[in-house]
Structure 1
């Protein structure tokens, strides 16, 4: 079995570098392997970052999104529970790699793509993380403006400037401080935001009308598939490219089942409750149904008593910030994995600066941005799903832990490029893009998607005078995301098994 000592740090002139201890204020560990002595985290601690990042009241807005597919309440409940739990379980499978290899997700992915070949999905992952976390920061700033306006307090540019600077400062500072500080913060936020979210739900119960909810007609199986893919993409698959970053401090002896379980429980516990509650609210009131998807904070503000708005604002902002902190921390690690030779805190600061600039641009200057921005991120979701399928199959196939030194050496057992994985990612992404459609009228640059729907008789493009749209039961089901995930998994499972077995020669087989 290869040595468990940390391999050389990329860009470092030394053969190894001691990482900051668990109690250090600033985590200096970058993408190098975590020293065995520092791997002291316990499986249940994975609950904190996953729960805190997903307890956002914005999860209620997905109730309107799901019902928008034209399905009944009970169909929507099935879709929500299955989609959320399964997608976070997939995160748990990838988190196994963090426990086995003690390195960030995009470094461990080198075993499947090659040390240099991994840069292709790495760039996609970095863009996705930066995009989603910028979106969270923007939402936090706009939520501040909405609540302050409802309270009759200061509003306008001054509030937006202060909110932008404070929120960006919190996100950047926590991300720069690193893993141990984030884990402490998230463990506190979990209890505080969780308790306050329950309070808000209790306060809005009078707005639920079961008769209206129960009378919603059932939809087609195709509509359920579309809603399922949307839920999976919005929840677990949105985090899957950073899943191993939070398990790399786990003991090597920790069971795979414990890693999967705590990732799944932490990630899905709050969203399942929030989405179902959102279904009840949206199904009870057509006005809420129409507005909560586009303006969740503004809509929920109208349902709450005045005294609850400040606590509501704090919880809304803190939960959004929690998610952004997790994402920026991980995007900094991904930036390092691409070959950028700077310390980890500096990488987090760079990504935080990009997030801040993006937030400022959208809040103060962009007139037409959210639709194109979301369309761009959804487009990246197809190759991310493909990458996830490849890595999950790779993790499940391996019978040994990773060769730490080879993850940093293109001449090692994992090689510089893995042609099978790269080709699989490219081909399945092309197929996947052909089976998803652009749902944003202000993102016409993505109208090229969906090119396989008509040839496969799954949908028809209608160029109507009042606006073009896709017609057909499968048109908006976004099959491309699910197909990219499943197809990549199957191809890797079948065609890379022999190569993985060759990579494992000389490594000690895991006992567990």
Structure 2
């Protein structure tokens, strides 16, 4: 039985209705009208956020110089979004969401292993963005002298959640239109922000920052890659599945990379200049990124700055919740796509309410949880990129939904590779929130045996010593292992599947 979408409204009717009913089924040929350049809008809008400026402080936090941070930023952002672009090629080849296309590598049922990880990562990151939007509202209101207490936070939570959930439920066509508008709003506001804060840069202070070690650069590079492109990689093909079948793979990679990377590179570089100019500012950004950046502005621009910041965070959250809904469907949950997006939107709202109003110490453990999931996600990405590189033909779309088809039920090589690469990767990353998330202190178990670091259980809180301890090599190891093992071990399998 074919799983091509032969029922439901066509693209024009969908646009009139405003709600996309297409779920994880294959997109009709008549609806595949997008061109590679269309990918610029969602990727640019989701990443042109003033929050990106705060990464300058995070990068310099690895005790490296401006010039080292510049190299790390440019390489980390561009390479990570280029990896997203490679995954996006699969969307054009198979016209299905990322986690459905991944069944070709893992088997129809085996795919549920990375599927669960992907779903948790998407929900987690988008909840984090919503939390930032609510907290930013309270901080800016406080700077304006307006009410910034519980009532303001409740109102902000309602508005932010409503924007994210309604756009996610509406679906692809509404989101694409929304992103093209948000691109101009957030882009213009960001340019104004840069112009208004240029005089805060102290070039002499920036140049005086001493060089760090190669290991510190690697740690900063991993942080940049996971914070940008690798944070999106599990949903990259969701936005290319409407691409015209004759679209060039190289063009998809190029527009995906350009759209995703251009704003973060410029914003992080500007953030490096700001954070390098003032240690006090850099410290404040670590605690409250958007609120601290707002302290540099004249009062008249605080409201436009807040609106642009919230819209940018909402823009990123919308992409994630839309895709997490598709991932939920790929795991076998049998509900309509709009309902799946709504369910994930409700979870995001509940998570935001819990953190903003009830959690005394949540942000550290929450980030520790997300970093932990980043290792298996990197392993999956390596496997998926190798699988895409090995394939010469489009996917057998019917077989993606049939456990007895050519992709089978379980591909134990891929499942085993992901599990093995994840375990080894966890052994080479450390819990950055050791005091707050003690349940995660089992990580880094390979550092001492390999002579890369020493665990110190100090009275003030546990920490790691050693040049490689905080380099987080496990993420890169999982990514490379996933790719190399798959490219070598599954070559004959892919050839047989395509025969």
**Distance of 1:424 and 1:95 partners within structure 2:** 22
Query: How far did residue 252 of structure 1 move?
Result: 1.0
Correspondence 1:112 to 2:108: no
Alpha carbons 1:175, 1:345 under 8 Å: kept = yes
Farther off after superposition, 457-466 or 420-429: 457-466
Query: How far did residue 63 of structure 1 move?
Result: 0.6
TM-score (norm 2): 0.98
**Distance of 1:311 and 1:404 partners within structure 2:** 46
What does residue 28 of structure 1 align with?
A: 21
Query: How far did residue 20 of structure 1 move?
Result: 3.8
What does residue 454 of structure 2 align with?
A: 460
**Distance of 1:19 and 1:239 partners within structure 2:** 29
Q: How does 1:345-424 map to 2 (within 5 A)?
A: 345-424=338-417
What does residue 451 of structure 1 align with?
A: 445
Cα deviations by residue, 1:138-186 (Å, 9 ceiling, x for unpaired): 1101111011111011221111111101110110000000000000000
Alpha carbons 1:88, 1:235 under 8 Å: kept = yes
Correspondence 1:228 to 2:228: no
Alpha carbons 1:226, 1:477 under 8 Å: kept = yes
What does residue 248 of structure 1 align with?
A: 241
DSSP-derived class of the 1:436 partner:
coil
**Distance of 1:322 and 1:411 partners within structure 2:** 39
Query: How far did residue 119 of structure 1 move?
Result: 0.4
Correspondence 1:7 to 2:3: yes
Cα deviations by residue, 1:48-97 (Å, 9 ceiling, x for unpaired): 11011111111111111111111100000000000000000000000000
What does residue 70 of structure 2 align with?
A: 77
Alpha carbons 1:6, 1:35 under 8 Å: kept = no
Q: How does 1:19-168 map to 2 (within 5 A)?
A: 19-22=9-12, 23-24=15-16, 25-168=18-161
Query: How far did residue 464 of structure 1 move?
Result: 2.3
What does residue 195 of structure 1 align with?
A: 188
2:498 alignment partner, one of 497, 500, 504: 504
Q: How does 1:329-348 map to 2 (within 5 A)?
A: 329-348=322-341
**Distance of 1:60 and 1:209 partners within structure 2:** 16
Q: How does 1:165-180 map to 2 (within 5 A)?
A: 165-180=158-173
**Distance of 2:143 and 2:467 partners within structure 1:** 41
Alpha carbons 1:6, 1:33 under 8 Å: kept = no
Alpha carbons 2:4, 2:26 under 8 Å: kept = no
**Distance of 2:312 and 2:332 partners within structure 1:** 32
DSSP-derived class of the 1:462 partner:
strand
**Distance of 1:176 and 1:150 partners within structure 2:** 34
Farther off after superposition, 357-366 or 241-250: 357-366
Alpha carbons 2:63, 2:211 under 8 Å: kept = yes
What does residue 12 of structure 1 align with?
A: none
Query: How far did residue 234 of structure 1 move?
Result: 0.4
What does residue 13 of structure 1 align with?
A: none
**Distance of 1:487 and 1:349 partners within structure 2:** 36
Alpha carbons 2:4, 2:27 under 8 Å: kept = no
Query: How far did residue 467 of structure 1 move?
Result: 2.2
Aligned pair count reads 495
Query: How far did residue 19 of structure 1 move?
Result: 4.8
DSSP-derived class of the 1:143 partner:
helix
Structure 2: runs of 5+ lacking an equivalent: none
**Distance of 1:151 and 1:400 partners within structure 2:** 58
Cα deviations by residue, 1:357-379 (Å, 9 ceiling, x for unpaired): 11111111111110000000000
Query: How far did residue 6 of structure 1 move?
Result: 5.4
**Distance of 2:164 and 2:370 partners within structure 1:** 21
What does residue 474 of structure 2 align with?
A: 480
DSSP-derived class of the 1:292 partner:
helix
**Distance of 2:120 and 2:290 partners within structure 1:** 26
Query: How far did residue 18 of structure 1 move?
Result: 3.7
Alpha carbons 2:115, 2:327 under 8 Å: kept = yes
Q: CA RMSD in A?
A: 1.0
**Distance of 2:235 and 2:175 partners within structure 1:** 15
What does residue 428 of structure 2 align with?
A: 435
Alpha carbons 1:390, 1:489 under 8 Å: kept = yes
Query: How far did residue 462 of structure 1 move?
Result: 1.5
**Distance of 1:176 and 1:299 partners within structure 2:** 33
Q: 1:419 to 1:41 in 2, by over 3 A?
A: same
DSSP-derived class of the 1:40 partner:
coil
Alpha carbons 1:362, 1:369 under 8 Å: kept = yes
Query: How far did residue 466 of structure 1 move?
Result: 2.3
Query: How far did residue 479 of structure 1 move?
Result: 0.2
**Distance of 1:293 and 1:90 partners within structure 2:** 28
